[in-house]
Amino acid sequence: MADDFDFGFTAVDDIPAGERIEQPVQAEIPTDQIDKIMDKLEQLESRILTADNSGLITEHKALLESDVATKLRDAEDLILPLLKNLKRNPEKDYIHWPNRDVIIDKQIERITAVTRYFERF
């Protein structure tokens, strides 16, 4: 487990002997080239700002809302039965739950399959 979190670096007080820090090279660009690039960037910015993507954004938002609502219902369907079963006999002070590790691990896998849906892409 500890090897999973070894990223291959250590903290030091000084730069190790034999290693030197190279100074960054300063690029010199003629001002006329900078002006041309700035003009092109301003044109691009203008095109982006005038583009009408509201329809695409609205459609994407609706799809996301639908997907999130479905995922929430799926998560609810996995969590509520457990809570209802735990609440089933409120007059009893203790719950006998043998082999709960296996059962809980299985339920955790089901829940994370729903809640971490986007991590698979």
The answer to whether residue 111 sits within a structural domain is yes
Local structure of 11: helix, strand or coil: coil
Residue 107 has pLDDT above 80, yes or no: yes
The answer to whether residue 5 sits within a structural domain is no
The answer to whether residue 68 sits within a structural domain is yes
Quick one: pLDDT band at residue 5, thresholds 50, 70, 90? low
* Distance between CA atoms of residues 82 and 48, nearest Å: 50
The answer to whether residue 31 sits within a structural domain is no
Q: What is the pLDDT of residue 63?
A: 94
The answer to whether residue 57 sits within a structural domain is no
**Which position has the higher pLDDT, 12 or 96?**
96
Q: What is the pLDDT of residue 85?
A: 86
How many distinct structural domains can be found in the chain? 1
What mean pLDDT do residues 54-80 have? Answer: 91
Quick one: pLDDT band at residue 21, thresholds 50, 70, 90? confident
The answer to whether residue 78 sits within a structural domain is yes
The answer to whether residue 55 sits within a structural domain is no
Q: Percentage of the chain with pLDDT > 70?
A: 87
Residue pair 71/115 in contact (Cβ under 8 Å)? The answer is yes
The answer to whether residue 120 sits within a structural domain is yes
* Distance between CA atoms of residues 39 and 94, nearest Å: 74
Q: What is the pLDDT of residue 37?
A: 95
State the virtual CA torsion across 62, 64, 67, 73 in degrees, nearest 10.
Answer: -90
- State which residues form the domain around 72: 64-89+97-121
